[in-house]
Each structure stands twice: as C-alpha cells, then as structure tokens.
Amino acid sequence: MKRKYRGTRYFYIIAYIAMIMVTVIVTAGFLRVYLRNDTGASGKEFYDKYYVLITDDRDSSFWQSVYKGASDYGLARNIYVENFGSDLSSDCTKEDLMRMAIAANVDGIILNADESEEMLGLIDEAMNASIPVVTVNSDCTSSRRISYIGVGNNDLGKEYSKQILETAATLITEDTPRVRVAVVANTVPSSGQSIIYASIQETIENSKEYGRRISLEMVMVDEKNTFSVEESIRDLFIADDLPDIIVCLNELDTTCVYQAVIDYNKVGLVHILGCYDSDTVLQGIDREIIDSTIKIDTKEMGEYSVEALISYDKIGFANAYYTVDVILINSTNIKEYLVTEDTNGEA
C-alpha cells in the first residue's frame, strides 16, 4: 500500500509540473500575440519586433536603467522590449526565463549571461531556433551569441588597480606593513570578472613600490538573490581578519558591503571600491563610507543591445563587441553627481 501511495504522489507531482509548463507556454504565446497587435505608445497597429531583457536581478536600479535605455531606443523604432519576468516570482532564474522566451519564440533576447554549461546550452538552443541572443554586462564566450555589450574589462581592472594603489598608499605604515584587498566575485563563472581580477593582479604585481605589500584575494559570493549575497557578505564581516579594502564589481555587492560596514560598526576601518551610481552608492560616497565607484553608461548599454539585434535582423550580422563608457566617481566629483540627481528628481 505504501508503494502504491508513493507512486500516486509522484504522478500528481509530475502532472502538476507539466500543467505549470503548459500554462507558461500558452501565456507566453498569448503575450506575444498581444504585443504584436498592441497599439501602445507608438500609436501604430503593431510592433515590428518583440525583444526581451533577461537578468538575474531585474529589480535593481542598474538593470532598470539598462532596460529603460533599451525600451526607449526600441519604441522609437517600433520595437517592444520587455523586462522579462518582472511580474513573475523572484524564484524564476535566468535559465527559467530563457526557456520561457524560447518557448514564446520571441524575436530577440538581451541576456545577462554567465559561463555555466547550462547557460551555454540555452543560448545555443535559442540560436538554433532562429532567436538571436545578445549578452550584456556578463558574457558567455563559448556560446554562439551574436554580440557582447559591456565595459572594457581589462581597462576596468586597471582603473580598480589605480584606486587600490592610491588607497594602499594611505594605509601602509611601519605598524601596518601589509594591506589586504578582497575582490568580491560571483560563484557562477564569469569571463568578465576573471579578466578584471587578472588585470588587477597583474597591475599590482608590477607596482615596484607597493606590489609586494598588497595581499590580493578573491572572495566568492553566492549571487542567486539579495538574501544569499547578504549572507555571504555577513560571513566576511564576522571573520576575525577583515580586509582593508573591498572591491565590488556590481551594484548589489556594493550596496550589501556598504550596509554591512554600517551594521557591523566598521566605518573608517574598511575601504570600499564600488560599482554603479545608484542613489544608495552615491549617498555612501557623500558620507565618506564608500571611497569610489565606477559609473557605467547603462543607457548606452541598453541602446547598443537593441542596435545589435536590429543589425542582425537586417543584414544577418552585428558587431561582436560593443564597449560602453565608464566614469570614476569619488569625493572629488560626488557633489556634481548629487546635484545632477537632485535636478533630475525635481524635473
């Protein structure tokens, strides 16, 4: 009787999962038809193309800004760009959303990728289904994606190195002969973060004055969601030997490290080199808790993503790489950006 009950239970579980998948596919199909015939803001009969943006942190200000750049650029060309999965459960992974997008037969995918085998297979599956894929901010180098849009990772590593060396110069004394630097990186492999880290490592090792006095390490953080990042950062702060400098390569890590410095009363004891110019990060610089941050032109990133898909659709080819601009924000120019933010807010 127990064996029969267990078999029945498994049958219902499988049936339930199948029902969810059918619902997702049918819903995606209806959505596609709706968008094709939606009058929308353009006032035209239908959109020519339907692209989706797929990321692992779709609610962050960074990705919202990338999405706005892509959406505005697309609408001006009668193309609808959706922040895919924004209305779904946060438990939906990038991989789940890729499967949904492929099932919906969208016209193009803008993807915050990684180097995992699963992601590689999904990108190639989309390309086999004649759905072009553009990777943005983080690449999948072995895949058949048509373009990568991001920063020059080698140059970005050199910029971080410059900030590390300048900060280390203020910390190294007879009492503190060595400075520890931790670079926060995602546990999921990423070619971008590997290049940045290698560039930092090479630049510091080549520094005759401080190369041997700086200890560099990579701290792996589980970035599946905000909670997992917070837990990983917490473990870093409750350890006995806290790094002197923490380098963050994305907005979420920067925000979590900034909050941890405050929560664990480490203000003035840890130097943060961050990424992106969200309101929280700018506030951290203004309060002299974050030393500096790298501002990435997210509007340009979104525009290039759509431009690559349009180019591929028209001529079957797109530039392999699009490099977006970056700017360093620190105590010397923070007021300029705070004024700009206030002005934009008032408008």
Which domains are delineated in the chain? 2-150+299-325 (3.40.50.2300), 153-275 (3.40.50.2300)
Q: What is the pLDDT of residue 241?
A: 85
Summarize the confidence of residues 80-108 as an average pLDDT. Answer: 91
User: Per-residue pLDDT for 343 more than 70?
Assistant: no
User: Per-residue pLDDT for 294 more than 70?
Assistant: yes
Which tokens belong to 174? 């007879």
pLDDT band, residue 187 (cuts 50/70/90) = confident
3 state DSSP class of 49:
strand
User: ∠ at Cα 147 (146, 151), nearest 5°?
Assistant: 165
Give the rounded percent of residues in the chain with a pLDDT score beyond 90: 70
For residue range 215-264, list pLDDT tens digits in order.
999 999 987 778 888 998 999 998 878 999 999 999 999 999 999 999 99
Q: Across the chain, what does the average pLDDT equal?
A: 87
CA distance 168 to 160: 12
Burial 320-335 (b: 16+ CB within 10 A, else e): eebbbeeeebeeeebe
- Size of the chain, expressed as the number of residues it contains: 347
Is 328 within 8 Å of 162 (Cβ atoms)?
Answer: no
pLDDT band, residue 42 (cuts 50/70/90) = very low
- Quick one: which H or E segment has residue 184? strand 179-186
Lowest mean pLDDT among 9-18, 137-146, 173-182, 319-328: 9-18
Give the rounded percent of residues in the chain with a pLDDT score beyond 70: 84
